[in-house]
Chains A and B, each alone.
Chain A
Amino acid sequence: MVLKLIGACMTLGACGSMGLVWAGVHEKRPRQLTALEGALQLLETEITYGATPLPEAMEQVAGRCDPQAAGLFMMTAREFAKMGGVTAAEAWERALGRFFPATALDETDLNILIRFGASLGISDRQDQAKHLKLAMNQLKAAAGRAEAEARKNSNIFKYLGFLGGMLLVLILY
């Protein structure tokens, strides 16, 4: 009897926390997108006004931007520092490959960032600024969509986790 009760509590807790985690992922995505957008804004300033070399600019941005996006720029800067003979696009992509799994971003956001990276460091300042603007606009649109989605979905996931757990307990009891 006691064992059954403990099992029921554990099932309920597991399902409930699963729902909370899902809701958390949905809530985190728009914030991370906004953070990335802000970081790209900083990068644009570094490139167009400061004319900072890319490795330094990456470090600067990593130091000043939102901590949620700092990892990506820090890893890119580290790739540059390795002097492994990679282009800026390759360094960006490698950093992205390590940064992406730890975030709540999805494939479309990844594609925006990869496409932006492809143009990184291959042209003059004005052209770089254009590419940065494009990526920022796309991230902003994605953030808006993610925000609407999060408002709709996060509460449902919270409820559904607990209710699903309760249902499972009742069925198995």
Chain B
Amino acid sequence: MDTELIFQLAGISIVITVIYTVLKQAGRDEFAFSTLLLGIVVVLAMVIPKIANLFETVRSVFRIY
């Protein structure tokens, strides 16, 4: 498992947080919310294959088929 992904996710979350704050300050709450949602979707799309991989590994280690 590479550590690059962790830093990438951290970076994305920082940028999303800043965008959320900027939009909220400007009174564009609905855009702020949709940005947050977009961030969650993107991050999940990046993380879910890794989690699936983990499950696969666990299953193969304990021979649960």
Which positions in A face B, CB cutoff 8 Å?
A: 152-153, 155-156, 159-160, 163-164, 166-167, 170-171, 173
Instruction: Name the residue in A155, A159, A163, A167 with the highest tally of chain B Cβ atoms < 10 Å from its Cβ.
Output: A167
A-B contact count (CB 8 A): 30
Interface on chain B toward A: helix, strand, loop, or mixed SS?
A: helix
**B12 close to chain A: CB less than 8 A:** yes
**B8 close to chain A: CB less than 8 A:** yes
Given A171-B42, A173-B8, the answer on whether A166 and B22 have CB atoms closer than 8 Å is no
Which positions in B face A, CB cutoff 8 Å?
A: 8, 11-12, 15-16, 18-19, 22-23, 26-28, 42
Interface on chain A toward B: helix, strand, loop, or mixed SS?
A: helix
Q: Which residues of B contact A152 (CB under 8 A)?
A: 26-27
* Least CB distance, A135 to chain B, in whole angstroms: 32
Q: Which residues of B contact A153 (CB under 8 A)?
A: 26
